[in-house]
Amino acid sequence: MNVSIRSRFIVAAALGAVLSAQAPPLAAQEAGGSVQGTVIDGSTKQPLANAQVSIVGTRSGALTNSAGVYRIPGVTAGQVEVRVRLIGYAPTTKSATVSEGQTADVDFSVSQSAISLTDV
């Protein structure tokens, strides 16, 4: 009877050691990569705040800060289309390659655009 309890204890300890030896995946590996950059006015070269930057075909996106800087984490690795929109400026799209655990830099220089309103 002592042998049975001792054997169970050894097996349980060995199993615990094996399971604890496996390292969990890094957060960057689980989350893909990220896209970051700056959005500026093409004519004045001034940074644009509150521009909406998004990954086309996904729900991932961010707004630029007062320095025109944005960062979108958790982007699936591969070829992506990054789009920027801001009222008064023409929407602009660029292609980027996102690598697992890496950051792709995508900067935008956008052109002002007239806004057409319909009659009421």
| Residue-wise pLDDT tens digits, 31-76 | 699 999 999 999 999 999 999 999 999 999 999 999 999 999 999 9
What's the burial of 4, exposed, middle or buried (CB within 10 Å: 0-12/13-18/19+)?
Answer: exposed
Q: What does the pLDDT read at residue 77?
A: 97
Task: Give me the mean pLDDT over the 70-97 stretch.
Answer: 98
- Predicted TM-score (pTM) of this structure: 0.71
Q: In terms of Cα–Cα distance, which of 37, 35, 62, 36 is closest to 51?
A: 62
Average pLDDT score over the chain: 85
Site of tokens 């070269």: 45
Task: Give me the mean pLDDT over the 75-79 stretch.
Answer: 97
Q: What does the pLDDT read at residue 115?
A: 75
Q: What does the pLDDT read at residue 114?
A: 82
Q: Confidence class of residue 8 from pLDDT cuts 50, 70 and 90? A: low
CA distance 74 to 100: 10
CATH superfamily of the domain spanning 27-110:
Carboxypeptidase-like, regulatory domain (2.60.40.1120)
Q: Is the pLDDT of residue 11 over 80?
A: no
Task: Give me the mean pLDDT over the 5-26 stretch.
Answer: 54
Q: Confidence class of residue 19 from pLDDT cuts 50, 70 and 90? A: very low
